[in-house]
Amino acid sequence: MVERKALGKGLGALIPDIEDDLEGKEGALYCTLDEIQVNPYQPRTVFDQEKIEELTRSIKEKGVIQPLLVRKVGGGYQLVAGERRLRAAKKAGLEKIPVVVKEISKVELLEYSLIENLQRENLNPIEEAEAYKRLMKDFDYTQQKVSQVLGKNRATVANQLRLLKLPGVVKKSLAKGEISMGHARGLLSLSELQKVKEAFRIVVGKGLSVRETEKLVKRLSQEKKKKEPEKRLIHLEYVRNDLRQWLGTQVKIVKSGKKGKIIIEFYSSEELERIIERIKGR
């Protein structure tokens, strides 16, 4: 099997600029908007309506300067890249739109959609991570393959995928731009889901910076370490009281690391015999 090359710099060549018409351009033509199906692998889920309106006004004035990239499916076409232009063209009331038709596989369909948005910096961090995940799930890509195809560092891909471990409320906030990648990476340092949510509420409520978030995460992590010995001490106190009531005398539990000793007090020979009989179960 031939190894596919990274596509990160090749998309521009697939979508040429046009001014008046598409005559003489390979695979280029005009088609009606009804002939174009949406892209099922579109990684972008949030569209800025204000920018769509701006593009709509531009299209009404100058038309569609850059054609859409589509592939042939059945009796029509399927969008590969240019969803914002397609949406704006519909709002502008156009009947036909310029397209460039290319033979593209399902794998390339997701790749090109992802790359187009990455090149234009249109994807938010969660959309980007979801796109990586889909490449891995739907097309059996490894993290290494994703990094090769998209021309990215493998560590970058791995860190992006880690964002999907965040609670839903945190992912939504990151997608909206309410918190940054720096905040998200800091929150990921906490192993407990409840701690992540607690820290997130403080970060958003107080408007903490990334550095302040890191300090908060460190403090919460240290609190956890302190609470673990406290829980063990509470358990030992419960056991000590249980033994004291059962034996009818004072009991001490002395612990040092993983070792320790249980001290049972007695105040007469008769009491010692009673305690021994009690321990023997008589």
Q: Which pLDDT band, with edges at 50, 70 and 90, does 22 fall under?
A: very low
Q: Which CATH number is 100's domain given?
A: 3.90.1530.30
Whether residue 226 lies inside any domain: the answer is: no
Q: pLDDT value at position 9?
A: 43
Domain boundary among 122, 141, 165: 165
Lowest mean pLDDT among 75-89, 164-178, 237-251: 237-251
115 vs 8 pLDDT, higher one: 115
Boundaries of domain holding 244? 236-280
* 64-114 per-position pLDDT tens digit: 888 988 988 888 898 988 888 888 999 998 989 999 998 888 777 877 777
Whether residue 33 lies inside any domain: the answer is: yes
Closest CA relative to residue 63, chosen from 98, 29, 12: 98
Domain boundary among 165, 192, 207: 165
Shared domain for 154 and 254, answered yes or no, is no
Residue 83 annotated to the active site: yes
Whether residue 245 lies inside any domain: the answer is: yes
As a residue count, the chain comes to 282
Coil, strand or helix at 246: helix
Task: Name the residue type at position 186.
Answer: G
Instruction: For the chain, give the mean pLDDT.
Output: 80
Whether residue 6 lies inside any domain: the answer is: no
Shared domain for 132 and 249, answered yes or no, is no
Shared domain for 142 and 276, answered yes or no, is no
Question: What secondary structure does DSSP assign to 156-223, as a single string?
Answer: HHHHHHHGGGS-HHHHHHHHHTSS-HHHHHHHTT--SHHHHHHHHHHHHHHT--HHHHHHHHHHHHHH
Is residue 19 pLDDT above 60, yes or no? Answer: no
How many Cβ atoms are within 10 Å of 120's Cβ, its own excluded?
Answer: 11
Domain boundary among 127, 147, 165: 165
| Active-site choice (19, 50, 61, 83) | 83
Q: Which two tokens stand for residue 135?
A: 């490449």
First to last CA, the chain: 78
Q: What is the DSSP letter of 74?
A: T
Q: Which residues contact 241 (CB under 8 A, 6 or more apart)?
A: none
Helices 125-139, 168-176: inter-axial angle, 10-degree rounding? 120
Number of domains in the chain: 2
Q: What is the pTM of this model?
A: 0.59
**In this structure, are residues 83 and 44 in contact, taking their beta carbons and an 8 Å threshold?**
yes
Is residue 15 pLDDT above 50, yes or no? Answer: no
Shared domain for 72 and 158, answered yes or no, is yes
How many Cβ atoms are within 10 Å of 168's Cβ, its own excluded?
Answer: 8
* 251-282 per-position pLDDT tens digit: 888 877 778 888 888 888 888 888 888 888 76
Task: Name the residue type at position 156.
Answer: T
Quote the percentage of the chain above a pLDDT of 90.
23
Burial 14-25 (b: 16+ CB within 10 A, else e): bbeebeeebeee
Whether residue 60 lies inside any domain: the answer is: yes
